[in-house]
Amino acid sequence: MPNIETAKKIIELCGSHQPEAAEVFLRSSVATTVEVKDQKVDAFDRARGMGAGLRVLVGGRMGFAFTTDFSESALTALAEAAMANAQSTAVDPFQSLEAHPAGDVLPVAIYDADMVNLSEQEKIKGVMAMEREAFAVDAKIKRIRKASGSFSSSETIILNTRGAEVSYQGTACSASIEVVAEDSGESQAGWNFDVNRFYRNLDMNNVGRRAAHRALDLLGAKSIESVKAPVILDAPVAEEFLGLIAQGLSAENVQKKKSLLAGKLDQQVLSSSLSISDNGLLEGGMATAPSDDEGVPMQKKSVIEKGRLTLFLHNVYTAKKDKTASTGNGMRAGFKGVPGVGITNFHIEPGTQSLDELLKSAGTGLYVTEVMGAHTANPISGDFSVGATGFWIEKGKRAYPVREITIAGNVLELMKNVIAVGKDLRFFGRIGSPSLLVKELSIGGK
């Protein structure tokens, strides 16, 4: 298994080529995925991944290469390839590698030894129990399209010639299920999902029950007339729209003029009810780590304060280009790529109102529990038109389920019109949101 000594060996092999700086990013991982159907294992996959990415800086040129072979000859070839690739790239004055970080690299609790030691049979039993719980909610739950669980562990090592040295282990587990409820010839699907760093905090049974209730609640759904009305975005729906805001906060996108927030620093861009943080040190967060993928210490940043845009997210390259410091947002998809700009634990700070209180405040309107096609929204203009399902609200309560409708608008205008924020903050991977009450939105119906 590669370790810190392997990373040092790669750096040593680069030395004979005399680069200005060199950096090794090493990651190994083990992942298990279980799929169950009708209390039988439908699929079982166990995968191992291991490799190293090497960046070298030569005369203002950055070279990159990677390998999955850790033999002496392969590591020698890796160093040679990175140096050769540097010679074929253009000189870029903003290329740089992180010097020894000025701040502390703080320890974080993101590794669950109990999950790593979980037997394959216990993993299968957990997914089977989730399926049983969904069926047990009501006899109208007739089918389960897919029930799955995933369990992974990884080790990351970052080492460079400028003093950065970071090593840490992490784990993650998730559960998802899609069920179908049927009644009087009608069928409705319900889906639910959860993810956690620690297996003890992953309530798989509750995931099954929530999915079943979602499907049952939509039986008898109908369309409505087109109207403009108050809209409540359920937390998972608000999270999808928040993803568009996250793209706009990337300094890389701003510099490439691909951001809907370009030129708006220090301006009021969202409702004063909204504050958004990017917190790489959030306890148990899926993106929590001691450092980003360039060795810059993780930190908590307030990117939008009461609707005002306070900063963009940077990696080392974009920071140098803007003559500022990296915010610890240098992220890689893995050892096969170089760092871009990415979010850590990106979320809207929760408010104080319960969902029932938001419904009461809405009076008459739409409670959206699912949208289809949010990925088709324009990331630069922020315009969107998506399919939606949910519930019509009357007298501050859910009146009946609705489907075959659309909601349309602009994501910045939508977020400017948020008048209340729920306290039900929930994360879906790296992005989290509570439920949001929007003053008014265009709803397309029959």
Q: Half-sphere exposure of 99 toward its Cβ, with a 13 Å CA cutoff?
A: 3
pLDDT bin (cut points 50, 70, 90) of residue 373 is confident
Q: Which domain holds residue 407?
A: 221-446
| CB-count exposure of residue 139 (10 Å: 0-12, 13-18, 19+) | exposed
Please provide the size of the chain in residues.
446
The C-alpha atoms of residue 22 and residue 267 are separated, in whole angstroms, by: 39
Q: Do residues 43 and 126 share a domain? A: yes
Average pLDDT over residues 267-288: 97
Average pLDDT over residues 401-417: 95
pLDDT for 195 beyond 80: yes
Q: Do residues 141 and 244 share a domain? A: no
What pLDDT does 392 receive?
Answer: 97
What pLDDT does 165 receive?
Answer: 92
- Provide the 3-class DSSP secondary structure of residue 231: strand
> What percentage of the chain exceeds 90 in pLDDT?
93
What pLDDT does 396 receive?
Answer: 96
Which residues are CB-contacts of 78 (< 8 A; sequence separation ≥ 6)?
Answer: 10, 13, 52, 54, 65, 66, 67
> Chain centroid to CA 230: how far?
28
What pLDDT does 170 receive?
Answer: 97
Q: Do residues 126 and 112 share a domain? A: yes
Please choose, from the candidates 147, 214, 137, the residue with its C-alpha nearest in 3D space to the C-alpha of residue 176: 147
Q: Do residues 301 and 154 share a domain? A: no
What pLDDT does 340 receive?
Answer: 97
What pLDDT does 126 receive?
Answer: 97
- Both tokens assigned to 163: 């003093």
What pLDDT does 280 receive?
Answer: 97
pLDDT for 81 beyond 90: yes
- Both tokens assigned to 250: 């990337």
* Boundary (domain end) residue, out of 188, 216, 244: 216
Q: Do residues 237 and 194 share a domain? A: no
pLDDT bin (cut points 50, 70, 90) of residue 206 is very high
Q: Do residues 42 and 72 share a domain? A: yes
Q: Do residues 286 and 194 share a domain? A: no
Q: How many domains does the chain have?
A: 2
Handedness of CA 387, 392, 393, 398 (dihedral sign): negative
Q: Do residues 276 and 389 share a domain? A: yes
What pLDDT does 15 receive?
Answer: 84
User: What CATH number is attached to the domain comprising 34?
Assistant: 3.30.2290.10
Average pLDDT over residues 192-197: 96
pLDDT bin (cut points 50, 70, 90) of residue 446 is confident
Q: Do residues 122 and 63 share a domain? A: yes
What pLDDT does 324 receive?
Answer: 96
What pLDDT does 101 receive?
Answer: 67
Please tell me the pTM assigned to this model. Answer: 0.95
Q: Do residues 140 and 92 share a domain? A: yes
pLDDT for 377 beyond 90: no
Give the residue ranges of DSSP H helices in 17-168. 72-87, 113-116, 120-136
- Provide the 3-class DSSP secondary structure of residue 82: helix
pLDDT for 305 beyond 90: yes
pLDDT for 17 beyond 80: yes
Average pLDDT over residues 128-142: 97
Which is more confident, 377 or 94? 94
* Boundary (domain end) residue, out of 193, 216, 239: 216
Q: Over the chain, what is the mean pLDDT?
A: 95
Average pLDDT over residues 60-76: 96
Q: Do residues 87 and 206 share a domain? A: yes
pLDDT one-digit tens code per residue, 217-261: 999 999 999 999 999 999 999 999 999 999 999 999 999 999 999
Q: Do residues 192 and 330 share a domain? A: no
What pLDDT does 374 receive?
Answer: 84
pLDDT bin (cut points 50, 70, 90) of residue 106 is confident
* Boundary (domain end) residue, out of 184, 216, 248: 216
Average pLDDT over residues 346-375: 95
